[in-house]
A and B are shown apart, each in its own frame.
Chain A
Amino acid sequence: MFVTDIRKEFYEAVADQRVALLVASDIDALCACRILQALFQCDQVQYTLIPVAGWQDLGTAFLEHKDQIKLLIKQDDDLGVPSYDEIFRDDDEDEEGGDSGNESDEGTEPSGKRRRFDEGSVERRIERQREKREWEARRREILFDYEQYEYHGTSAAMMFFELAWVLTKDTKDMLWWAIIGLTDQWVHDKVTHMKYVTDIATMQRHVSRHNHRNEDEENSLSIDCMRISFEYDLRLTLYQHWSLYESISNSCYTCCHFKLWTLNGQKKLQEFLADMGLPLKQVRQKFTSMDMSIKENLREVIEESSNKYGMKDIRIQTFGVHFGFKNRFLASDMVHATTALLESTEKDENETDNFIKALDSLSRSNLERLHSGMDLAKKKLIAIQQTVASCICTNLILSQGPFLYCYLMEGTPDVKLFSKPMALTLLSKYLLRAFIQSTRNKRCRLLPLIMAAPKDVEKGTVLVVGIPPESETSDKKNFFGRAFEKAAESTSSRTLHDHFDTSIIELKTEDRSKFLDALITLLS
């Protein structure tokens, strides 16, 4: 459903009813959910929070609450450009499944039409039937074009922040959550660089508005108040909560440029550090205990040296938050920590617990949870780098013609971490970039990658992820959704297309080879 005035048509319609919030499992949805929760608390709206992991969960939740609820709101920023939430309306007259905007605009279902049998106008009826057939054909074509590519639109958290702003109930906490939602899209490579920079500019306007509001008198704010600032900071993941050396070795950008899985690469890294004049002992220490003299100009020094080594974009525009004396976080740090919590594979944790923990870690009062999330994120990043290194060194990536393919065997260390969709997607993106750096075959550099990892050993399923090829001008449109569906149909493999992101599916291990063959024939 397209909504033009979000305040009147959406919020005011909803605010005096009881709301069910179905939230997808990614950080952007979590942040949007937090913003909406804060708004509901201000206006004392009753709501129920239901985490959903896929279409089946959505269906069950919908059916459970079907009798009580008239209007459902779910946050998901998948599929389709302008719409940022899906609204299912269950009226008595017609069942419209409003699906991300465009579909509901195509016209109503003809099932409700009552046909009047008029003997005198049989020709008119034939005419109508022919028109309907043409209309159906056109509709199928438009739907096919629409569903062929999948890409992400504006961050849902940003949309809800704009709603809060229109209601003048926006606070710094909500602004910070909106920034985290936007950064999640960049960290997991869901939007193009241009879109990210444009959205950062929008957020920057809000940040300066909030900062001006509080600091115009000479009376400064209490140190405990939250301060958000624009930073042109380094692209090294979690470097302020780790040691500089570890961060450089485990960040995708630096690792791929130096090729740190080779011996040569390690030597180049040592040269790089020596070039900057950073002693090894300092660099291996925790960042907070490094010498102040080194930390002062660190960013400029690193930028200068990295330009010499061919890394032109070591710095990225982002935001940082600062509250209390000890707590400084960059937006990307929070994204990594919360993702690790959301997909943690520790024992005795089910998905709802993880969801609640990740949601909690976003608020300022749960810092221990955030720190535990960062530790999990560090382990995950180290696991990703080691897996990437071993895959490249043992040539596990095979070129299958129209795409590259890699399968993680069951005995691979840390393979349990990669049974979760976001971790596996992150791994495949790093792997593709590393592969492009390490291969000599020019043609292979333009191929997309399909990655498979065991998901559930008892049930014998694997998780398959497809990502588009890596290129400078890529618009991040992913066509694997439809391709997977067609391949599964043609080989009647047992697949589960449950995830909201259609390029991630579950497949039975035995059907793997015939599924792949079908894909090869489909895409070549």
Chain B
Amino acid sequence: MDPSEVEFLAEKELVKIIPNFNLDKLYLIGGDLGPFNPGLPLYVPVWLALNLKQRQKCRVVPPDWMDVEKLEEMRELERNAATFTPAPCPYYMELTKLLLNHASDNIPKADEIRTLVKDIWDTRIAKLRLSADSFITQQEAHAKLDNLTLMEINTIRGFLLESLNCMYKLRSNLQPGSSKGPLADY
């Protein structure tokens, strides 16, 4: 999967906006989008929120988890725990990037939020690398990791599968007699 595909999936998440125009209810295939009234907040998917923001038709309200104190707490929890703590949001990395690139004037303390989210991401990816490393060296058969987001899984997927493939090839070459012939790669 490409990171841009993950971002595309993340754009379906709902975010609160405050429009400045009038429009009746929209009936889209993915669902209904409520009537737009100026000054009244409502939830819309991120793709629509960004489009409206770029056309200066709305103001974006930052999601609840995008707050400096909450993110600081989460960062501390993440650093202290050995396993993964629940992420702020299933698509926290993509949403941070999208919202801070296009709507940073509506989000207070945007720079600090960017740093905090990056810190959380770095800690989690470090844990993931360690875990993948021990999985390969100890030649485990299966592992279970909770609370991973799709972006993190996508980051490690290519490397992990390739290395497991290589390990399998190396192992099967060490035992020439019991080789089952060339098997298909995953």
Q: How many residues does chain B have at the interface if contact means C-beta atoms less than 8 Å apart?
A: 11
List B41-79 residues whose CB lies under 8 Å from chain A. Answer: 55-57
Query: Residues of B contacting A223 with CB < 8 Å?
Result: 111
Q: Are A219 and B56 in contact (CB under 8 A)?
A: no
- In the complex, residue of chain A having the shortest beta-carbon distance to the beta carbon of B113: A222
Q: Are A222 and B56 in contact (CB under 8 A)?
A: no
How many Å lie between the Cα of A169 and that of B56 in the bound state?
Answer: 7
Query: Residues of B contacting A491 with CB < 8 Å?
Result: none
Does chain A have a CB within 8 A of B104? Answer: yes
How many Å lie between the Cα of A223 and that of B105 in the bound state?
Answer: 10
Does chain A have a CB within 8 A of B150? Answer: no
Does chain B have a CB within 8 A of A221? Answer: yes
List A309-344 residues whose CB lies under 8 Å from chain B. Answer: none
How many contacts between A and B, using CB within 8 angstroms?
27
Interface string of B89-114 (1 = CB under 8 A from A): 00000000000100011011111000
Does chain B have a CB within 8 A of A225? Answer: yes
Does chain B have a CB within 8 A of A307? Answer: no
Q: Are A221 and B110 in contact (CB under 8 A)?
A: yes
How many Å lie between the Cα of A221 and that of B100 in the bound state?
Answer: 11
Query: Residues of B contacting A219 with CB < 8 Å?
Result: 108-109
Query: Residues of B contacting A41 with CB < 8 Å?
Result: 55
Query: Residues of A contacting B107 with CB < 8 Å?
Result: 222
Q: How many residues does chain A have at the interface if contact means C-beta atoms less than 8 Å apart?
A: 15
Does chain B have a CB within 8 A of A224? Answer: yes
- In the complex, residue of chain A having the shortest beta-carbon distance to the beta carbon of B114: A222
Q: A219-B109, A221-B110, A223-B111 given as contacts; is B104 within 8 A of A171 (CB)?
A: no
Q: Which of A42, A214, A220, A222 contacts B100 (CB 8 A)?
A: A222
Smallest CB separation, B53 vs chain A (Å): 11
Query: Residues of B contacting A42 with CB < 8 Å?
Result: 55-57
Q: A221-B105, A222-B100, A222-B105 given as contacts; is B56 within 8 A of A171 (CB)?
A: yes
Does chain B have a CB within 8 A of A296? Answer: no
Smallest CB separation, B178 vs chain A (Å): 60
Query: Residues of A contacting B55 with CB < 8 Å?
Result: 41-44
- In the complex, residue of chain B having the shortest beta-carbon distance to the beta carbon of A43: B55
List A187-229 residues whose CB lies under 8 Å from chain B. Answer: 214, 217, 219-225
Q: Are A214 and B108 in contact (CB under 8 A)?
A: no
Query: Residues of B contacting A225 with CB < 8 Å?
Result: 104-105
Query: Residues of A contacting B100 with CB < 8 Å?
Result: 222
Smallest CB separation, A34 vs chain B (Å): 15
Query: Residues of B contacting A220 with CB < 8 Å?
Result: 109
How many Å lie between the Cα of A219 and that of B106 in the bound state?
Answer: 11
Q: A42-B55, A42-B56 given as contacts; is B108 within 8 A of A224 (CB)?
A: no
List A337-386 residues whose CB lies under 8 Å from chain B. Answer: none
Q: Are B105 and A217 in contact (CB under 8 A)?
A: no
Q: Are A224 and B104 in contact (CB under 8 A)?
A: yes
How many Å lie between the Cα of A41 and that of B56 in the bound state?
Answer: 10
How many Å lie between the Cα of A376 and that of B118 in the bound state?
Answer: 40
How many Å lie between the Cα of A509 and that of B104 in the bound state?
Answer: 58
How many Å lie between the Cα of A482 and that of B70 in the bound state?
Answer: 72
List A2-46 residues whose CB lies under 8 Å from chain B. Answer: 41-44
Q: Are B108 and A217 in contact (CB under 8 A)?
A: yes
- In the complex, residue of chain A having the shortest beta-carbon distance to the beta carbon of B68: A219
How many Å lie between the Cα of A44 and that of B57 in the bound state?
Answer: 12
Interface string of A164-176 (1 = CB under 8 A from B): 0000010100000
Q: Which of A43, A44, A169, A222 contacts B110 (CB 8 A)?
A: A222
Smallest CB separation, B102 vs chain A (Å): 11
Smallest CB separation, B96 vs chain A (Å): 12
- In the complex, residue of chain A having the shortest beta-carbon distance to the beta carbon of B110: A222
How many Å lie between the Cα of A222 and that of B108 in the bound state?
Answer: 8
- In the complex, residue of chain A having the shortest beta-carbon distance to the beta carbon of B101: A224
User: Which of A42, A219, A222 is most buried by chain B, counting CB atoms within 10 A of its CB?
Assistant: A222
Smallest CB separation, B125 vs chain A (Å): 24
How many Å lie between the Cα of A378 and that of B111 in the bound state?
Answer: 35
Smallest CB separation, B105 vs chain A (Å): 6
Smallest CB separation, B182 vs chain A (Å): 50
- In the complex, residue of chain A having the shortest beta-carbon distance to the beta carbon of B104: A222
How many Å lie between the Cα of A223 and that of B110 in the bound state?
Answer: 9
Query: Residues of A contacting B57 with CB < 8 Å?
Result: 42
Query: Residues of A contacting B111 with CB < 8 Å?
Result: 222-223
Smallest CB separation, B23 vs chain A (Å): 14
- In the complex, residue of chain A having the shortest beta-carbon distance to the beta carbon of B105: A225
How many Å lie between the Cα of A118 and that of B111 in the bound state?
Answer: 84
How many Å lie between the Cα of A151 and that of B104 in the bound state?
Answer: 43
How many Å lie between the Cα of A194 and that of B119 in the bound state?
Answer: 54
Smallest CB separation, B1 vs chain A (Å): 28
How many Å lie between the Cα of A41 and that of B108 in the bound state?
Answer: 27
- In the complex, residue of chain B having the shortest beta-carbon distance to the beta carbon of A41: B55
Interface string of A90-132 (1 = CB under 8 A from B): 0000000000000000000000000000000000000000000
Query: Residues of B contacting A44 with CB < 8 Å?
Result: 55
Smallest CB separation, B22 vs chain A (Å): 14
List A115-173 residues whose CB lies under 8 Å from chain B. Answer: 169, 171
Query: Residues of A contacting B108 with CB < 8 Å?
Result: 217, 219
Smallest CB separation, B59 vs chain A (Å): 12
How many Å lie between the Cα of A44 and that of B51 in the bound state?
Answer: 12
How many Å lie between the Cα of A44 and that of B111 in the bound state?
Answer: 32
Supplied contacts A171-B56, A222-B111, A224-B104, 19 more A-B pairs, CB within 8 Å: A41-B55, A42-B55, A42-B56, A42-B57, A169-B56, A219-B108, A220-B109, A221-B104, A221-B105, A221-B110, A222-B100, A222-B104, A222-B105, A222-B107, A222-B110, A223-B111, A224-B110, A225-B104, A225-B105
**CB-based closest 3 A-B pairs:** A219-B108, A222-B110, A222-B104
Identify the A interface with B (CB < 8 A): 41-44, 169, 171, 214, 217, 219-225
What are 25 A-B residue pairs whose CB atoms fall within 8 Å in the complex?
Answer: A41-B55, A42-B55, A42-B56, A42-B57, A43-B55, A44-B55, A169-B56, A171-B56, A214-B105, A217-B108, A219-B108, A219-B109, A220-B109, A221-B104, A221-B105, A221-B110, A222-B100, A222-B105, A222-B107, A222-B110, A222-B111, A223-B111, A224-B104, A225-B104, A225-B105
